[in-house]
Amino acid sequence: MNNNLRYALAAARLNTTDVAAALAVDPKTVSRWLNGRIPYPRHRWAVADLLHVDETDLWPEAAPRHQALADGIHAVYPHRWAIPQTTWRAHFNSATEEIDILAHSALFLAEDHTIQRILVERAETGVQVRILLGDPAGPEVAARGVDEGIGAEVMAARVKNALTLCRPLLDVHGVEIRLHRTVLYNSLYRADDQLLINTHAYGTPAAHAPVMHLTHTTDQGPAHTYLTGFTRIWTTAQPYDQ
């Protein structure tokens, strides 16, 4: 019996069905966790994020997910799709100063109405929101579509769909969207000092590639490297105002 997990669920006013829905697993799987079975690491991390506690608070016998990681690296998710929607939403909702998004399309965020609402609400409180998406007419977007195996036209269409969904954000003070023509080695999702870095791999869709959760600690840390790259791309990108 995992009483730690049981108490944490009660404190969060969640039941097995709620957790199962958030993690896209069967409720019976969550029940087995309550009965003492230790989940796979990605599920442990997702449950901990959902309940806003540390993994070892729920499973003391599990190795800390930050063990053997360098300073500033909080966690590594095996795939982007392994990150629950609740984690993405909590990530952006935590921002008090700035939100940065760098991707080719970030369509999975554009299609999430809750994320869109969070971006609007954060901007209305004074948070600077900067969104960098690929120029759908650019050769870099076409090349990425070929690399992923979906084709240049499909990738360009994904970017256009994302831009259409994000267009209402342009009416919000504090939100700016620009188009870049950059060969991306990663996508970046920033909320203040917290970064989710989605690595890119040849022949692999971004959703299937790993994601690093970084904390910007010092100018020598890994997060600083990615933030420097974002700044350089932002300064050369073209405003999207259609």
The amino acid at 19:
V
What's the CA angle centered on 135, arms 108 and 78, to 5 degrees?
Answer: 35
103, 151 in Cβ contact below 8 A? no
For 238, half-sphere exposure in the C-beta direction (CA atoms, 13 angstrom radius) is 11
pTM of the model: 0.73
What the block records as the tokens of 218 is: 């010092």
Predicted confidence (pLDDT) at residue 120 exceeds the cutoff of 80: yes
More confident residue, 159 or 70: 159
More confident residue, 203 or 65: 203
Lowest mean per-residue pLDDT among 14-28, 57-71, 148-162, 211-225 = 57-71
Predicted confidence (pLDDT) at residue 195 exceeds the cutoff of 90: yes
Predicted confidence (pLDDT) at residue 68 exceeds the cutoff of 80: no
> What does residue 62 show for φ and ψ, rounded to 5 degrees?
-85, 145
Predicted confidence (pLDDT) at residue 58 exceeds the cutoff of 50: yes
Q: All domains of the chain, ordered by start, with CATH? A: 3-58 (1.10.260.40), 73-239 (3.30.870.10)
Instruction: Indicate the angle between helix axes 41-51 and 16-23, nearest 10 degrees.
Output: 120
Instruction: Indicate the angle between helix axes 3-12 and 27-34, nearest 10 degrees.
Output: 120
Range 22-46 burial, b when 16+ CB lie within 10 A, else e: bbebeeeebeebeeeeebebbbbbb
